[in-house]
Amino acid sequence: MPHDSQSTTHSTPSGPTDADLDALLSRMTLEEKVGQLLVLHVYGHHATAPDPADVELNERELGVRTAADAVAKYRPGGLIYFGWAHNTRDPHQLATLSDDVQRVAHDGPHGIPLLLTIDQEHGIVARVGAPATLLPGAMALGAGGSADDVREAARIAGVELRAMGVFQNYAPSADVNVNPANPVIGVRSFGAAPDAVSAFVTAQIEGFRDAGIAPAAKHFPGHGDTETDSHSALPHIHHTREQWEELDAPPFRAALAAGVDVVMTAHIVVPALDPALDPATLSYPIVTGILREQLGHQGVIVTDSLSMQGVRTKYGDDRVAVLAIKAGVDQLLHPPQPELAWNAVLQAVREGELTEARIDESVLRILRLKRELGLFERAFTTPDDVDATVGSAAHLAAADRIAERTTTLLRNDGGLLPLSPAAHGRVLVLGADPVSPSGTTGPPTTVLAAALTELGFTATALSTGTEPSPETVEKALAEAASGIDAVIVTTYDVTDGDRQHALVTALTALTASDGPPVITVSVRTPHDVTRLPGVSAALAAYSWTDVELRAAARVLAGRARPAGRLPVPVPSPDDPGQVLYPIGYGLSYEPYAAAD
């Protein structure tokens, strides 16, 4: 496929030479150098005129009023954009924000450009939504099984980000998700097989780099086998060194072989790698001993968000910043109190705990990355870049094609699917309606019903949520019994005895009494199928974004062949050692168009 106008590789550095960067470093003050280590969050959609509530938040957390003020005060190496920080209203707004903060950096003492960053994994983690192109997330792509699709999805995501002034994406997840109860990685991982995850990590890195975007392989040394969320606590990974080498290390080795620009550390304890029981982010044996010296990573190392509780349980926020640098980290991502972190590192240098030479090492890595991305030559974007690239017809069509190959059919009793308007014209779509990760797409039940209606069905949406009340269940049963031909339920991490389970159980009891058949579409993990044995058919969509729901609708309606294959094993809920649906499992049928 031809490259977009914004697409550019950064395999050959241009711009300032190493000697130029050395000279630049020599002119910087210690305060400016420490600023380069910071990747800050800011509140607001506008660099100089955010909403009053965002001004208040900026004053409280950063000691400034606006994003422009934050850049002028701290001279940070970069910023990270979040939806919850109100940075990402729409593509043109984000491009304007990017250009405006870059101008503040350009007008600074040395004109060092910012590295503007984002978590745009796609799937359930997306900060920018429609009209930007939404793409399947990692586990969905793993189910699709195509490295070419992974590469193309990353290229599309990358050229759109670059058009909005964003030059680094915190992806791919190189975690091998071998624990079905993992609450923080889950469908953000490509799967449970190290070789497959390695191949897809490589492809995603290639796609981002082809687009001129710096990828970041995360979360080193591997966050795939935990039942603890590092946002709220400090997980422990109990793999032996041998298990780590076999399960967790291969995707990171593959990432480094693919030339990944950045590696992100995890806030996890791995006793086999560091018996001191420090979070990996703060561990010299892990960051420097393994990642730098043993695996040979020469690029930038960034922490995961320092606002996460996992890294804050053992030390105060001031010590966390210093210990991360001592461990070998280059960038401090999203410190909760930037001024505290900034001053703590400065004090550590002045008191001899850190040397200025150590700071210089990290600053040079950061400056070289900015050079490789072409930021010294062109850090700005234009409205024309946005119009020509973001949400283009070609990108949207490619996203639909890729998503269509990820939908996984896990059950199809009696050959119920595909549905047809002639036999199942009236469809009720109900169930869980998790909020879109980008905040710009509609409720899943509404999106799925609308897609089915466009395909010739009369589809009605009824949001019952993840905790439907008895009254809601009764309403759903009444609707299902009112001449409906099929019921489709979106499910979200069902557990035995929860309210979603009660709803589906009641609906399948209706089926047994000559009621309509019940079909589930799991919109997060594929494990829901084992909790709902009474349903007639079950699909796994791996996310609730529009692109994956539209693909599920086409599969349900026989307009596309279900082609996805499980990238993770699905065990029995009563016996985790018994795999009911192995890796590679997936049913299929020919679409009506092919049959005709």
Please spell the DSSP secondary structure of 505-568, one letter per residue. HHHHHHHHTT---EEEEESS-GGGGGG-TT-SEEEE-S--SHHHHHHHHHHHTTSS------SS
378 & 497 share domain = no
Q: How confident is the model at residue 258 (pLDDT cuts 50, 70, 90)?
A: very high
Q: Do residues 264 and 302 lie in contact, with contact meaning Cβ atoms separated by under 8 Å?
A: yes
Of 54, 261, 304, 546, which is the active-site residue? 304
> What average pLDDT is seen over the chain?
93
Q: Do residues 34 and 346 lie in contact, with contact meaning Cβ atoms separated by under 8 Å?
A: yes
580 & 463 share domain = yes
3-state secondary structure of 320: helix
Percent of the chain exceeding pLDDT 90 equals 85
Question: Residue 59 sits in a domain of what CATH number?
Answer: 3.20.20.300
Q: Write down the pLDDT at residue 439.
A: 63
- Residue 13 counted as domain residue: no
Number of domains in the chain: 2
- Residue 461 counted as domain residue: yes
pLDDT, mean of residues 186-200: 96
Q: Write down the pLDDT at residue 228.
A: 66
- Residue 402 counted as domain residue: no
Q: Is 478 left (phi over 0), alpha (psi -120 to 50) or beta?
A: alpha
Question: 231 an active-site residue?
Answer: yes
381 & 414 share domain = no
pLDDT, mean of residues 11-35: 89
- Residue 395 counted as domain residue: no
Instruction: Show the DSSP H helices in 351-392 as ranges.
Output: 356-372, 383-389
Question: Residue 579 sits in a domain of what CATH number?
Answer: 3.40.50.1700
529 & 412 share domain = yes
Structure-token match 């990432």, residue found: 255
- Residue 585 counted as domain residue: yes
Lowest mean pLDDT among 119-128, 230-239, 253-262: 230-239
Q: Write down the pLDDT at residue 440.
A: 64
Sheet holding 168-169, edge to edge: 300-302, 262-265, 214-220, 168-169, 115-118, 78-81, 38-41, 332-333
Last residue of a domain, one of 389, 417, 445: 389
Of 231, 317, 400, 498, which is the active-site residue? 231
Question: 238 an active-site residue?
Answer: no
In this predicted structure, the answer to whether residue 595 has a pLDDT above a threshold of 70 is no
Structure-token match 């503007």, residue found: 116
338 & 463 share domain = no
381 & 421 share domain = no
261 & 302 share domain = yes
Pairing between strand 408-412 and 300-302? unpaired
- Residue 9 counted as domain residue: no
Q: Write down the pLDDT at residue 350.
A: 96
- Residue 10 counted as domain residue: no
Q: Do residues 150 and 162 lie in contact, with contact meaning Cβ atoms separated by under 8 Å?
A: no
Q: Write down the pLDDT at residue 577.
A: 87
Q: How confident is the model at residue 309 (pLDDT cuts 50, 70, 90)?
A: confident
Q: Write down the pLDDT at residue 7.
A: 40
451 & 357 share domain = no
448 & 539 share domain = yes
CA separation (Å) from 327 to 319, 321, 331, 438?
12, 10, 12, 34
Cα separation, 73 vs 53, whole angstroms: 21
Q: Write down the pLDDT at residue 5.
A: 37
- Residue 5 counted as domain residue: no
In this predicted structure, the answer to whether residue 561 has a pLDDT above a threshold of 70 is yes
Residue numbers of the domain that contains 493: 407-595
414 & 385 share domain = no
307 & 175 share domain = yes
In this predicted structure, the answer to whether residue 168 has a pLDDT above a threshold of 80 is yes
In this predicted structure, the answer to whether residue 229 has a pLDDT above a threshold of 80 is no
Look up residue 88 and give its amino acid: T
Going by C-alpha positions, the residue among 217, 280, 580 that lies closest to residue 410 is 580
Cα separation, 411 vs 491, whole angstroms: 15
